[in-house]
Amino acid sequence: RLFEASISRGSDGGGLDVLDLARSMASLRAEKAALLGFANYAELVVDRQTAPDFGAVQAMLNRLAPAAVRNADAEAAALAQSAGHPLEAWDWAFYSAKVRREKYAVDEQALRPYFELDRVLQDGVFFAATSLYGITFHERRDLAGYHSDVRVWEVRDQDGSGLGLFLGDYYTRESKRGGAWMNSLVEQSDLLGTLPVVVNNLNISKPPAGEPTLLTLDELRTTFHEFGHALHGLFSKVTYPRFAGTAVPRDFVEYPSQVNEMWILWPEVLANYARHHVTGEPLPREVVARLDDARLWGEGFGTTEYLGAALLDLAWHTLDVAAVPDDALAFEEKALAAAGVAHALIPPRYRTGYFQHIFAGDGYAAGYYSYIWSEVLDAETVDWFTEQGGMTLANGQRFRRELLARGNSRDPLESFRALRGRDAKLEPLLKRRGLD
């Protein structure tokens, strides 16, 4: 009942049903696109992104979908075998965790004592940044944050000069919205003479006084990810603040933050921060090996549910005004089937009634594809770092100079080409997600 209630949010015909609003927004966006000379709203949006055109986006998603569904089917078979009965959609999370424990001996709760927040920050996130870029972090307890939980660090460049301020707001609280994000409080600008002030926001549960903050694997990943956004802001070197840091197209902005996730399991970084918070013992090597072995488990499900949402987003935003449907749920069902991602056990990550990314504002409308488009660039860059010797100052400085410092002061894909030496290919992403 909970599962069915969850996937029918905003579409149950009650007082909180928003399907008519979604239809109205799709219609108005189609009208706007037509007035501006575009065939549909998706083409209008992609025209302002790094993707060369809407056709390239559609081709990428269509290429990923069959392999993702195939892998999801294989995972479903393994789950059903473990369950001993036909699988239902609401069974997936439970049995997926069970198979992960049994097949790979990975118990995420047992890992948490090795991921204490302050050690992850000082000996993981900051250590990686120092190793790559030569920068250092100096906590400024004399500078008060906007809340007592907020910590402030002065970031200094390799030559000792000030680079900016980094604020860490890691705990959840009643007045704080959910999720995780980076804000730029002050943008860097040579014209105005301003240095950046950036903040990372997470929503980690705060432990009782005197007890350590132990992270889940997801919180660990998010800590590194959001700091990738922070570096994008801190390393900005532009004249005009409107081009600073993360002020890049939507389908490019997640790329630098995704690249920063590569250092989570990088051997010299992991060995530096992943230590038991009581004994100081390092995370056992066999556990690290099992984590690597388990890396692809669940990618079929994860990619399929993501593609379901991304293709549903495009389905709504490739309509002309006359084609906007009267029955939103029937349209959704037909669109998913046509895209080849209508899986009985895997609903799209977001359905129309609760797809806030595209209907609670314009931020990701016709742009939810951005996450995986950015991951194509990320996978290529991880390969580049690995080919060039991994975590070295020379590699870090090149990534900083050609990509992070540029912001939107030049075409972001030109920045990528300056780093990689060519256009991005899809193959590294296919290999990463087990879709090759």
226 is an active site residue: yes
Report the C-alpha dihedral over residues 340, 313, 308, 21, rounded to 10 degrees: -110
Report d(CA 277, CA 365) in Å as an integer: 43
Beta bridge partners of 41: none
Q: Of 130, 141, 100, 70, nearest to 298 (Cα)?
A: 100
CA distance 58 to 66: 13
Q: Which of 37, 33, 60, 52 is nearest to 411 (CA)?
A: 52
Cross-strand pairs, 36: none
**Four-CA torsion 102, 105, 106, 110, nearest 10 degrees:** 110
Closest CA to 166 of 209, 135, 204: 135
Question: Which residues is 154 bridged to in the sheet?
Answer: 138, 165
Q: Which residue out of 43, 75, 187, 226 is catalytically annotated?
A: 226
Active-site positions? Answer: 226
